Every structure is written in C-alpha cells, then in structure tokens.
Amino acid sequence: TFNGTWKVDRNDNYDKFMEQMGINVVKRKLAAHDNLKITIEQNGDKFHVKESSNFRTLEIDFTLGVNFEYSLADGTEVSGTWTMEGDMLKGSFTRKDNGKTLTTTRIVQGDELVQSYNYEGVDAKRIYKRG
C-alpha cells in the first residue's frame, strides 16, 4: 500500500534529470535537498496527496485514469494521469510549455517508496522512507 507519509531519503541521477528539464544549477542545488515529504491516502481509485517541501505545501486529489493539472515546484505546468499497473503507479504528464512528456512511476519496495522519472531520455529516482 502507498498509504502513509514518505520522506525523501536519497536521489539517483536527479541532478541530470532536472538539468534535462531545463532547471538552472542554483535551483537544482536547492531541489536536491528540498526535504520533500508526501502523504498519500488511497481510497479505491481515488488518491489524496499532501506534499510539503522547502519550496511549498500543497494538496492534490486525483482519480486513476482521469486527467488532472499539476504544477512542478519551479512553476512548470503539466497535465496528465496516474494509472495502476499491478502494484505500480504509472504517471504520464505533458508539459504545457513545450508539449514534451515526463513519465514517472511509484512502487513500494520493502520499506521504501521508489519514484522513478524519465524526461527526454534521462532517468532518475527518488527514494523515500516512511516518516
């Protein structure tokens, strides 16, 4: 289950990924240590996610398979969907500024939540622990 509060523990190739996203080095340095914490509440195909970091706090609701809008911490607007494939959440989000697609997955592995990201050929991961 995805339910619970998750705190980022470590990143894998996240700097390169953010660079591919066009984020400048100053913001990347801050984002690498953003203290991101997400609280996930799943009820069937409905999700409520609370996000807090050094940049902001926000809450978002989405339903699997239903398109929604989201703004990344740097203000980049995307729209897309999460779907569930087996035990994995799969997200596909299109940037409004350039039409390019960011894909992401979430899976619980042992006591960790692993979120992977892909944008224009660059893969990254952020790994969370329960907190």
Binder to ligand MYR among 36, 93, 108, 116 (CB under 6 A)? 93
**Is 23 among the residues that bind ligand MYR (CB under 6 A)?**
yes
d(CA 126, CA 8): 7
Helix and strand element counts for the chain (H, E): 2, 10
CB of 93 to ligand MYR, least distance (A): 5
CB of 105 to ligand MYR, least distance (A): 10
d(CA 41, CA 27): 29
Q: Please, which of residues 37-56 interact with ligand MYR by CB under 6 A?
A: 38, 49, 51
d(CA 6, CA 105): 15
Block residue for tokens 């203290």? 35
CB of 100 to ligand MYR, least distance (A): 12
Q: Please, which of residues 63-82 interact with ligand MYR by CB under 6 A?
A: 70, 72
The number of residues making up the chain comes to 131
Binder to ligand MYR among 60, 84, 122, 127 (CB under 6 A)? 60
**Is 18 among the residues that bind ligand MYR (CB under 6 A)?**
yes
Burial class (CB in 10 A: 0-12, 13-18, 19+), 38: buried
- Residues in the site for ligand MYR, rule: CB under 6 A? 18, 21, 23, 38, 49, 51, 60, 70, 72, 91, 93, 102, 104, 117
